[in-house]
Amino acid sequence: MARSLKKLDALLAKGGDALTLTPALEGRLAAKQKLAIHLNRALLAMAAGKAEQARQVAGLLAKAYAGEPLVALLQAALLAREGKVRWPTLVHSCVLLSAELVVSMPDSRMIHCLASTIL
């Protein structure tokens, strides 16, 4: 996991914020592709026990992609991992959100990864 996280972190521009990719990638990737890269970075950080890095990326994603359901699911996963939310409330919210996401993106591995992190 740590090696994968380092590879994803290598895609970031030096001296930029945690969401700025290298100039070679910045112009080539669509917004959804950039979002996928950053969601994966946050998930890998969370799985590798780097909660602070995962929180930082999630916070920046929440500002940059306000209203994006996958970002909300990532934030829910972080809250659950940290024990800051009660399970019944979280599970109910995630089931509703996951159902909406599965309908809109049935083949998304990201959804399954986030859901397995939460549940």
30 has pLDDT over 80: yes
Burial 27-49 (b: 16+ CB within 10 A, else e): eeeeeeebbbbbbbbbbbbbbee
Split into its structural domains, the chain has a count of 1
Banded pLDDT at 63 (limits 50, 70, 90): very high
42 has pLDDT over 60: yes
57 has pLDDT over 80: yes
Mean pLDDT of 46-63: 91
61 has pLDDT over 90: yes
49/35 Cα distance (integer angstroms): 21
pTM over 0.85: no
Does residue 86 or residue 28 have the better pLDDT? 28
pLDDT of residue 55: 92
Domain extent for 96: 2-118
